[in-house]
Amino acid sequence: MSDIPTPHNTAGINDFAKTVLMPGDPLRAKFVADNFLDSAVLVNNVRGVQGYTGEYKGKKVSVMSSGMGMPSIGIYSYELFNFYNVENIIRIGSAGAVADGLKIGDIVLAMGACTNSAYARQYELPGTFAPIASYDLLSQAVSLASERGIKYRVGNVFSSDTFYDDAESLISWRKMGVLAIEMEAAALYMNAARIGKNALCICTISDCPFTGESCSAQERQTSFTSMIKLALDLA
């Protein structure tokens, strides 16, 4: 029996490019397809999680939403890696600033992803797994960002299972040098490691929990163009 279509993806086996950009928001996926890809075609829309494939500078590229949180990106990235022959997934998301000095609009390249998630328990490892980015994608992103004069930081992010944190734990993560908080990178990195594929999380700072500054939902959807172009040129 064929592995596709999957429960969450009705695309055909050749409908996705080898590299998929993966924002959390389906509307950001549509924004990328409409504004950056030539001849973009909607290849998946199960549950409104839109996936498109088109061309960028003559190269086949896909973009598909991951939904919100590690269970969601865990499902979609697993299916893309395992059933659709995708080799690289680049998360293009928003994040909250944890480290001092990060401002709205700054870019964080997630070298590693700390987490409070139990996602790694499925692997039954005799210890603690450290989810990290693929070095080739990370090093290329650093080079491109430096060439373009983009303000960026490289380091750990915190992939949290909770958006509303009753324990108010961000101060503890800040003590350990964590740059930003988001909700997906750790699961993406674990899926990539398990199947031997490549993953990178690029985030734009959309809010600063310690100061109360934040972008609007519309700004998060449409204004993160430096991050989007950086990811597209890695594809």
Q: Which amino acid is at 101?
A: G
Where b means 16+ CB within 10 Å and e means fewer, 163-191 reads: eeeeeeebeebbeeebbbbbbbbbbbbbb
- Residue 80: strand, helix, or coil: helix
Which entry of 106, 165, 207, 233 is annotated as an active-site residue? 207
| Phi, psi (degrees; rounded to nearest 5) at 119 | -55, -40
Closest by Cα among 230, 95, 101 to 163: 95
Catalytic residue list contains 207: yes
Residue partners of 39: CB distance under 8 A and separation at least 6: 54, 55
Pairing relation of β-strands 88-97 and 180-182? antiparallel
Measured between alpha carbons, how far apart are the two ends of the chain, in Å? 31
Q: Which residues are catalytic?
A: 207
